[in-house]
């Protein structure tokens, strides 16, 4: 059972150095993630993505995020995101559950 509380901790520990989630949050090394679900890759307004990310062409959702977050550089070869990935399925599920809540109203 995916746990957003655990997901929030994972986000703060492993993602928040480069990403914000709230509406109107600033871009840092990585894009603000507000509105992520249901959006095509590379579309957060105002962020300078790699070509690789912009042209991946999938829609972010639970399944695509599960795959991506396990091994981002395999899913989007050419990405500049430095993150080896979350090997544990439960961690990805928790993080995605948190992101679902935190990136939309």
Partner 1 sequence: MSSWNPERKQSLVGWDSHLSRIFFLLLLFVVSAQGVTPNPEACLVSSSVSGSSISCQPPAQIPKSLPADTIFLAVEFFNLTQLPADFLQGIPNLQELHLSTNRLENLSPKFLLPVPQLKVLDLTHNSLTRLPPGLFRVSAALCTLVLKENQLKFLEASWLHGLKALQHLDLSENQLQSLPPGLLENFTNLLTLDLSNNQLQTLPPDLLRGPLNLERLRLEGNRLQVLGERLLAPQSKLRYLFLNDNRLASVAAGAFRGLQKLDMLDLSNNLLTTVPTGLWTSLGKAARNLKDGFDISSNPWICDQNLADLYHWLVANEDKMFFRNHTRCAGPEALKGQMLLAVAGSH
In the complex, the residues that contact partner 1 under the rule CB under 8 A are 5, 8-9, 12-13, 16-17, 50-52, 55, 57, 73-74, 77-78, 80, 82, 84
Q: How many CA atoms lie within 13 A of 50 on its CB side?
A: 13
Nearest CB to partner 1, comparing residues 5 and 63: 5
Q: How many helices (H) and strands (E) are present in the chain, helices listed first? A: 5, 0
Q: Is 40 helix (H, G, I), strand (E, B) or coil?
A: strand
Nearest CB to partner 1, comparing residues 71 and 104: 71
Q: How far is the CB of 16 from partner 1 (least distance, A)?
A: 8
Nearest CB to partner 1, comparing residues 55 and 90: 55
């Amino acid at each position: 059972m995916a746990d957003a509380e655990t997901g929030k901790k994972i986000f703060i520990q492993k993602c928040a150095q480069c990403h914000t989630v709230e509406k109107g949050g600033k871009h840092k090394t990585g894009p603000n993630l507000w509105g992520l679900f249901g959006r095509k890759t590379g579309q957060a307004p105002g962020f300078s993505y790699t070509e690789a990310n912009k042209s991946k062409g999938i829609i972010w959702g639970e399944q695509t995020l599960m795959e991506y977050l396990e091994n981002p550089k395999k899913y989007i070869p050419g990405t500049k995101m430095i993150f080896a990935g979350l090997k544990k399925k439960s961690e990805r599920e928790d993080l995605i559950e948190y992101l679902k809540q935190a990136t939309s109203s």
